[in-house]
Amino acid sequence: MSNNIRLKGGLNIPIQGEAALKTRASIQPDVVAIRPDDFKGLVPRLLVREGDKVLAGSPVLADKNCPEILITAPVSGTVAGVVRGDKRKLLAVLIQADAVQEYVDFGAKKADGLQAEQVREQLLKSGLWAAIIQRPYGILADPSVQPKAIFVSGFSTAPLAADPDYALGNEVEDIQAGVNALAKLSAGGVHLSLCADNYSGTAFHKIENVILHTFTGKHPAGNVGVQISHIAPIRKGETVWTVSLLMLAAIGRLFNTGKVNLARKVAVTGPVAKDPAYVDAFPGMPMKALSAFYDNSKGDIRFVSGDALTGRNAGENGFLGFFDNQVTLLHEGTERELLGWAKPFRFNQFSSSRAYFSWLCPKKKYAMDTNTHGGPRAFVVSDVYSKVLPMDIFPVYLIKACLAGDIEKMENFGIYEVLPEDLALCEYVDPSKNDIQAIIASGIDQMIKEMA
């Protein structure tokens, strides 16, 4: 392939607990949560009350800033509760699912014959508009904007991520329908990026009506943000949208069947997961539904919705996120290793740095835990960050600009191009143990506030 984009640097995290390519269980929805925090930029307005009946696809939340944007129920059932936190912040809407799922019928439509306006309307009223993420800033897409282009990453390089071919390989038709629909919304078309090494092996290379790109490289080559920066970097004033393959399949299903069906294969992974494999589940599924996969009698397991680098710490009583099709179970590393840093060898610890010897066993996988392996410090080492960030930006300068809250510098150093997830590896390798993703997130929040 002539237009293959080869990314230098990056790092695949060798963590144990990859999900076997089999589906161990089908989790019947019981209590399902809708979390406003899954949608960055959403100012939620509650549309239901406790006891209300909802169908899969019934509106539950609306955005106060843009009331057309709805968040709909992933399952049919009864609203069982509304969870609020400090200052009455809406944390979750709980729905007790019915035994038999009923769907709102939005009417099957062939995207080919539709106008952009009709596609937009269908997505908005079904709640699947929220599946589109707008960059810069990674927020809910603005329906009044025509984006420069729409980007989809067709592979994932994140640690232990669900294998898209196993999880979504037999939904190519739905994905195709989703592509056809979204293509109407942008003059720049839909860009699909695939992994060059697995190009002919993946079912997704047959998808039409897209601009195909192939990438070679380690993580974060599968991050859509990194891909965009190599295809057409986002500049000030530009807007692009991104959709995950998972959400594209859901959108396609909406157009093919008229139903909002968010059922998905979820990879249950991580070093403390027992027989890691896939389950059939719904977004908002409680972590406790996975009890066959773990033994938390000591209370030392971290339940991450998403991958180990960018996921959300959901807790044992938490729920799977709207966008996630992976759960990572990690051991809380509160043990105190004696003379850890001073030992010449630490065979059970992985380091990308040659300061340790784990580079001698490139194939080994490690039972990583959540210990930080050191205390927070100022930035000292200067060249480790850009080695794991194949983008044309200066990561440390961007991070420092975010810390300083300097808008102009953040702009110059590329705040429009990144989301916290793109710098997750910088955070992973940082010997100074800074929370880089949180720093970037606060920089983005400041940009949203000041540029509005």
- State which of positions 149-188 bind other proteins (CB under 8 A): 159
- Token pair, residue 95, equals 């729905």
Name the nearest CA neighbour of 25 among 201, 368, 274, 213.
274
Q: Residue from 23, 198, 412, 446 that binds other proteins (CB under 8 A)?
A: 412
Q: Is 16 in the site for other proteins (CB under 8 A)?
A: no
Nearest approach in angstroms of CB 421 to other proteins is 10
Pull the structure tokens for residue 140: 């809910």
Other beta carbons less than 10 A from residue 135's beta carbon: 23
At 352 the three-state DSSP class reads coil
Peptide bond into 220 cis (omega under 30): yes
In this chain, which of 215, 319, 350, 416 binds other proteins, going by CB under 8 A?
350
Could you tell me the CA-to-CA distances from 336 to 332, 341, 371 in Å, in that order? Answer: 12, 11, 9
Q: Is 299 exposed, middle or buried (0-12, 13-18, 19+ CB in 10 A)?
A: exposed
3-class state of residue 413 by DSSP: coil
Does 13 contact other proteins by CB under 8 A?
Answer: yes
CB of 404 to other proteins, least distance (A): 13
Closer Cβ to other proteins, 374 or 405, answer by number: 374
User: Which residues 423-452 are close enough to bind other proteins by CB under 8 A?
Assistant: 424-425, 427-433, 435-438
| Residue nearer to other proteins on the CB measure, 23 or 442 | 442
Q: Are 157 and 12 in contact (CB under 8 A)?
A: yes
At residue 294, the 3 state secondary structure works out as coil
Is residue 12 near other proteins by the rule CB under 8 A? no
Nearest to 450 by CA among 397, 423, 417, 410: 410
Residue 43 phi/psi, 5-degree rounding, is -105, 100
Which of residues 57, 147, 258, 311 is near other proteins by CB under 8 A? 311
> Using the rule CB under 8 A, is 85 a contact of other proteins?
no
Q: Closer CB to other proteins, residue 6 or residue 343?
A: 343
Nearest approach, Cβ of 166 to other proteins (angstroms)? Answer: 24
Q: Which stretch binds other proteins (CB under 8 A): 165-173, 272-280, 283-291, 369-377?
A: 369-377
Residue among 288 and 312 whose Cβ is closer to other proteins: 312
Segment interacting with other proteins, rule: CB under 8 A, options 45-53, 259-267, 285-293, 364-372: 364-372
Instruction: Select from 43-51, 112-120, 180-188, 367-375 the region that touches other proteins (CB under 8 A).
Output: 367-375
Pairing of strands 59-63, 211-216: unpaired
Q: How far, in whole angstroms, is CA 121 from its chain's centroid?
A: 25
The footprint of other proteins on residues 248-307 (CB under 8 A) is 302, 304
| DSSP string across 168-189 | HGGGHHHHHHHHHHHHTT-TT-
DSSP letters of 5-53? EEPP------BS-PPPSSEEEE----EEEE-GGGSTT--EEE---TT-E
Residue 364 binds other proteins (CB under 8 A): no
Interface with other proteins in residues 321-340 (CB under 8 A) = 328, 330, 332-340
Binder among 107, 374, 445, 450 for other proteins (CB under 8 A): 374
Contact 135, 421 (CB under 8 A): no
For the CB of residue 337, give the shortest distance to other proteins in the complex, in Å: 4
Considering only 223, 310, 325, 326, the residue that binds other proteins (CB under 8 A) is: 310
What is the smallest separation between the CB atom of 351 and other proteins, expressed in angstroms? 4
d(C-alpha 142, C-alpha 123), whole Å: 12
Secondary structure class of 128 (helix, strand, coil): helix
72 touches other proteins by CB under 8 A: no
Question: Nearer Cβ to other proteins, position 4 or 372?
Answer: 372
Query: Pattern 387-406, binding to other proteins, x per CB under 8 A?
Result: -----x-x-xx---------
